[in-house]
A and B are shown apart, each in its own frame.
Chain A
Amino acid sequence: MKKIEAIIREEKLDAVRKALEKNGHFGMTISEVSGRGRQKGIPLQWRVGEYQVDFLPKLKLEMVIADKDVPDAVRLITENARSGEIGDGKIFIMPVEEIIRVRTGETGDNAV
């Protein structure tokens, strides 16, 4: 089992969710996060001129899936979250030791 943690653009969520859902990846958790990459924030306008916002609003998508599903999920996220501009985000993949479904107590791949 792997955990996929993807930082994506807010406006790409709908496309990513629909694509994942179409291929049977239903479960996910979304949080609103602030972050920065090489572009180091953006300027926003004040009454005159502008000021620098150091962290940009992004979404963090987290999902835990079976090892065999990882390449498919990663491809779908990459394809649908991409704009080609700087700031498209990143995907992190990490091993998961155990999953337990709270309602039934099922574990492992059965609980994915």
Chain B
Amino acid sequence: MAINSGDTAWILISSALVMLMTPGVALFYGGMVRRKNILSTMMMSFAILGMVGLLWVLYGYSLSFGADNGGVIGGLDFLGLRGVGQEPSAVYATTVPHLAYMIFQAMFAIITVALITGAVVERIKFSALLIFSALWLTFVYAPVAHWVWGSGGWLSRLGALDFAGGTVVHICAGMSALALSLVLGPRKGFGNGSAMEPNNIPIVALGAGLLWFGWFGFNAGSALTAGGLASSAFVATNTSAAAAAFTWMFLSWLYRRPTLLGTATGAVAGLVAITPAAGFVPPLAGIPIGIGAAVVCYYCMILRTKWRVDESLDVWAVHGMGGTWGALATGLFASAAVNSAGADGLFFGNALLLGKQLIGIVTVWAFAFGVSWVIAKVIDMLFGLRVSPAEETVGLDISQHGERAYGSLLR
């Protein structure tokens, strides 16, 4: 098929938008940790921008989108971008250069790895995090991306719907974050009354703002064309984010006061939940999906706190459970009238889709959690996952990176 310049422009811009989300994650997480760990928290995202940006063009894209092997994993035919050029691919995004589609997908891989880091801030050894990230990209992300989006992937053949990555990105990151944090263990002082005070909530809000902005590329870009479907996904995305931010604000108001931290978190939860649904549901379905996302993620955070698990920045609650709600909601609100490549959901008379969504959810839960747990255990045995107690007390900014965020007046 011929290259469409409108589509190409939109996919390239969307790739840049999604790229900006990873610095957004850096700020969003960086503001929430104690001031001695802000740099190390942000550094994780920036190091992943570097490392995954390389691994993806070398072999990641090929494992995810190369010729199918039994529905499970892509082949090595695109190794080092061999055969990925200025002409469109025969199967993926056939109106834009194959290179544009490849780099759009690269940004998804990068941010998914970066999302996990929220679980392990303030105590993971930087080198161990890099090793985990590289192995995780290879053994968790690449296969799941192939199952859902790869030509011939078994979940896509089954008919499970995931428009922009509710399963591939959010459920995957959330369940893996939980597994990694369980192997790593809690921060010193966690749960015994020691204050873990966020160092800079304005930075958190700025990060959430960049995420919201970039998410238009993530979801509307996933239409892979610059037209009606992209517009529909765009409106659904903003509607869900708005509904969830507003709902979370009221939840924290019911508790005591309406907090900025809660409202920003709510926006992210709404964006997560609409991700699998954006291009399959009518735009106004963003309202119930967003409200549901805030409620689900809010109570999952309370649950996680009750379990006394130090999954520090709630990647499981927001991305794992928000993504799960979004994947289920896709099975409820999807309509073939919105996207002929989709299907009707339960509310449009087709209960079967909900079953397919459930199969996708449960499989990816188990796979992401299990493989991540094994990778984390192996790294822990071979190299150790944690910094020393002294390094943890001093803070990771100094102990892992030899720098500090805020200069002093006196020294």
Contact = CB atoms under 8 A, between A and B. Distances in A.
Given A45-B255, A45-B256, A45-B257, A51 B262 contact: no
A54 interface: yes
Interface stretch (B88-96, B190-198, B237-245): B190-198
- The 3 A-B residue pairs whose C-beta atoms are closest, nearest first, are A48-B301, A47-B265, A45-B259
B388 interface: no
A51 B193 CA distance: 8
A14 B252 CA distance: 32
A53 B252 contact: no
A53 B262 CA distance: 18
Contacts of A52: 193, 195
Contacts of B305: 48-49
Interface of A: 44-54
Contacts, number: 36
Interface of B: 193, 195-198, 252, 255-257, 259, 261-262, 265, 298, 301-302, 305, 314
B195 A47 contact: no
Contacts of A51: 195-197
Most chain A CB atoms below 10 A, which of B195, B196, B261, B305: B195
Nearest to B256: A45
Given A45-B255, A48-B262, 14 more contacts: A45-B252, A45-B256, A45-B259, A46-B261, A47-B252, A47-B259, A47-B261, A47-B265, A47-B314, A48-B255, A49-B255, A51-B197, A52-B193, A53-B195
A50 B252 CA distance: 10
Contacts of A47: 252, 259, 261-262, 265, 301, 314
A2 to B, nearest CB: 29
B262 A45 contact: yes
A50 B256 contact: yes
A53 B301 CA distance: 20
A82 B261 CA distance: 32
B255 A54 contact: no
A45 B195 contact: no
B37 to A, nearest CB: 16
A24 to B, nearest CB: 32
Contacts of B252: 45, 47-48
Contacts of B257: 45
Contacts of A45: 252, 255-257, 259, 261-262
Nearest to A47: B265
A49 B195 contact: no
Nearest to B314: A47
17 contacts: A44-B197, A45-B256, A45-B257, A45-B259, A46-B261, A47-B252, A47-B261, A47-B301, A47-B314, A48-B252, A48-B301, A48-B302, A49-B302, A50-B256, A51-B195, A52-B195, A54-B195
A51 B301 CA distance: 14
Contacts of A54: 195
B313 to A, nearest CB: 9
A48 B256 contact: no
B311 to A, nearest CB: 13
A26 to B, nearest CB: 26
A53 B259 contact: no
Contact of B298 (A44, A48, A53): A48
B166 to A, nearest CB: 21
A43 B298 CA distance: 19
A27 B261 CA distance: 40
Contacts of B265: 47
Nearest to A45: B259
A96 B69 CA distance: 85
Nearest to B304: A48
B197 A53 contact: yes
Most chain B CB atoms below 10 A, which of A48, A50, A51, A53: A48
B324 to A, nearest CB: 18
A44 B298 CA distance: 17
A53 B257 CA distance: 17
A52 B193 CA distance: 7
